[in-house]
Amino acid sequence: MPGLEFKKDPVFLPYIAGYFDARGSFIVDKQNNITMNFYGNVDFLEELNSLFKVGSITLTPSSAWKIMNRDIPKVLDNINQYIIIKKDQAMEIIEALKNKDQYISINEPPEDIDFFDYAEEEWLYFYIVGYFDGLSRWSLKKHPKSNEYYLQISLISRYSDLVILLYELFNVGYILPYNDKFKFMAVSQDSLDLIKKLEPFLLNKKLELEMALKFKKFLDSGKYKEIEKLTGELKSSKKQDSNTTMILNLCEKLFKKVTSKSKSFEISKSRFCQEAIHYSYANLDSFKITEDLCGEEKKNFQVAINIDEYLEEKIKVLSSFDEYKSSAIRRALTLYLKDLEIEKEDNELNEDIDPLDLLEELKKGGPY
């Protein structure tokens, strides 16, 4: 079978449709602007961009090819007939662009889709390859007991049919339940067999493929030191250049407090956490004796905090009393919340301080 090329042909277009179903999205904003997004490897996205000659590439926070409004049909008309998961959305968008509808509503894709309905279609194979090229994850691992190295390729999807088709088409791996989804897994020999079959068709996972082939070569010749090096390279290549956002896990109790406080101050949760870090840094003695409010509770709630270099430094200092950055920040939040309560009581007694001024000050920069 011939390989895939960036061409508007009946092999490539179903592939792109599969890719879009896996790693694409339609977004309609408040001004009714429509955006069609593709996420993935920059080089791959740039190839797409130059093939269709519309849209633009953005690099932060993760690389994406964005096509807006009137440009969308130039891409969508090519692949619409092959789209399966986002079919309804695609039709909606096409209609809306034609009729210049006032309000566009995008519905979630169906919970369940019978992909075997398409089993007769010759293009389904390329659709699945595209889906795989978009959504699969590759990593080099070392078995903790036997110290054997292996390549692991996984793909998580809510559509069981799709996962089963992948498993049946390539005749490798196994399927596991993953929360309310399904996880296709191929490890060791299975994953090597899989990439051998898919090698000519992978356009987005070129880097991963290159790594995997190198890995196979080193494994065959027993060069384990080289494999170690490769594992490191793979990890660092995956790392984002500028990681300015950190995600903090909170228990429900603390999350609710942070949410309501930041709402009443009309600042973002991120900003509130920043304030807490600055505050704790300025009050180290009290910080040291403050407990993490979440303790052993499950930490299922997430808050995003934007980190600049100053904040980074302060977090480092705070977490030097603590095992983890996260628990240090949770303690900082606990302290800040407690002291805000006390401050509030004081202010009610002190008429010299205008609470509105205090709020303004907080919005500007807060008590560092």
Partner DNA sequence: AGTCCGTTTTAGTCCTTACG
Partner DNA sequence: CGTAAGGACTAAAACGGACT
Q: Which is nearer to DNA, 27 or 284 (CB)?
A: 27
Q: Which is nearer to DNA, 220 or 296 (CB)?
A: 296
HSE at residue 318, side-chain half, CA atoms within 13 A, is 32
HSE at residue 242, side-chain half, CA atoms within 13 A, is 10
Structure tokens that stand for 22 in this block: 């896996």
CB count within 10 Å of CB 364 equals: 7
Q: Which is nearer to DNA, 246 or 340 (CB)?
A: 246
48 vs 65: CA distance, rounded Å? 8
**Residue 49: burial class (beta carbons within 10 Å; 0-12, 13-18, 19+):** middle
The closest alpha carbon to 265, from 253, 249, 252, 276, belongs to 276
For the bound state, the minimum distance from the C-beta of residue 44 to DNA, rounded and expressed in Å, comes to: 12
Q: Is the dihedral of CA 137, 142, 148, 149 positive or negative?
A: positive
Q: Which is nearer to DNA, 8 or 238 (CB)?
A: 238
The closest alpha carbon to 305, from 364, 258, 353, 365, belongs to 258
Q: Which is nearer to DNA, 257 or 299 (CB)?
A: 299
For the bound state, the minimum distance from the C-beta of residue 81 to DNA, rounded and expressed in Å, comes to: 22
Residues of this chain that interact with DNA (CB under 7 A) are 23, 25, 27, 29-31, 33, 35, 37, 39-40, 55-62, 66, 68-71, 135, 137, 139, 141, 154, 156, 176, 178-179, 181, 235, 238-240, 243, 245-249, 268-271, 296, 298-299, 302-304, 306, 324-327
For the bound state, the minimum distance from the C-beta of residue 367 to DNA, rounded and expressed in Å, comes to: 19
For the bound state, the minimum distance from the C-beta of residue 194 to DNA, rounded and expressed in Å, comes to: 15
For the bound state, the minimum distance from the C-beta of residue 306 to DNA, rounded and expressed in Å, comes to: 5
